[in-house]
Structure 1
Amino acid sequence: MFVAALVCLCAAAVTGALGAWFLTRPPSPDYVLRVLRAVAPTQLAAAAMLVAGAVIGFVAPAPTSTLLLILCVLGAVGTVAAGCWQAAKAVALTQARAQADRQAGGGCASESGGGCATCTLSCSDQKG
């Protein structure tokens, strides 16, 4: 049980470090980095679950600690999986909306990236 608790503690350290690292990075226009940044809070929650599992593995008696350690690991994996799913779904929806806006926008917004200074159309004609 000591080895399993130690592995769980190392996994918690890695997961927590990755979550903290992604949270400290500035927001990026890249969709993959957006998903990774959005998953960072769930990574920190999973790291807390893994630490709890490791502590239980170190101090609880054998039959109880085994079951609780397994539950903590499954909870951490499920939390990260749900966070990845939700973050990817949100970023895909945002990307689809942006693509639809670019296709349906017309005028200055779609021809020059939103800048009326480089467009031959009048922006006042587009807004109203």
Structure 2
Amino acid sequence: MLIAGVLCLCAAIASAGFGLWTLTRPPADDLSQQVRRAVAPTQLAAAAMLAAGAAVALAGSGPATTVVLVVCVLGAVGTVAAGSWRGARYMVAQAAAATPESDACAGSCAACTLSCH
């Protein structure tokens, strides 16, 4: 349990570090930076879950400790996955809204490529 607790603690520190680093950066116009900034709170939540799992793993022993540790790790992974999914959906929606179709193409590539010949 000691090794699992130390690994969870290291993962919690890394997750909190990435989340705090992203939040301390100035807001950017770049869409990928906006998505990273939106995912930062879920990274901090995952860090809290991992830290709780690490504390339980370092303090206790037995089957209940293992269950709590697994629940904390799965919760942290699920939280980051849900935040990333939400960020990806936002990015796709913003990218689709930012690229309007041109009337000159008439919706087909052939209109543009054949007009040069």
Give the structure-1-normalised TM-score. 0.75
Alignment of 1:46-57 (within 5 A): 46-57=46-57
Structure with bigger RCO (C-alpha 8 Å, 6+ apart): 2
In the aligned structure 2, how far is the partner of 1:103 from the partner of 1:83? 33
Q: How far does the alpha carbon of each residue in 1:12-61 deviate from its partner, in whole angstroms, 9 at most, with x for none? A: 00000000000111122222222211110000000000000001101223
Which blocks of at least 5 consecutive residues in structure 2 are unaligned?
104-117
Query: Structure 1 stretches (4+) deviating beyond 6 angstroms?
Result: none
1:82 shift after superposition: 0.4
Cα deviation, 1:86-118, whole Å, max 9, x if unaligned, reads 011112111211223x747xxxxxxxxxxxxxx
What amino acid is aligned across from residue 84 of structure 2 in structure 1? C
Structure 1 pair 53–27 and aligned structure 2 pair: CA distance change class (3 A): same
Q: What RMSD in Å do the two structures reach over aligned CA positions?
A: 1.5
Aligned length: 103
1:1-128 to 2 correspondences below 5 Å: 1-100=1-100, 103=102
| Rg comparison, structure with higher value | 1
Instruction: Mark the runs of 5 or more structure 1 residues left unpaired by the alignment.
Output: 105-128
1:58 is aligned with what amino acid? Answer: L
Q: Give the secondary-structure state (helix, strand or coil) at the position aligned to 1:29.
A: coil
TM-score, length of structure 2 as denominator length: 0.81
**Counterpart for residue 119 of structure 1:** none
Q: How far apart in 2 are the matches of 1:94 and 1:31? A: 8
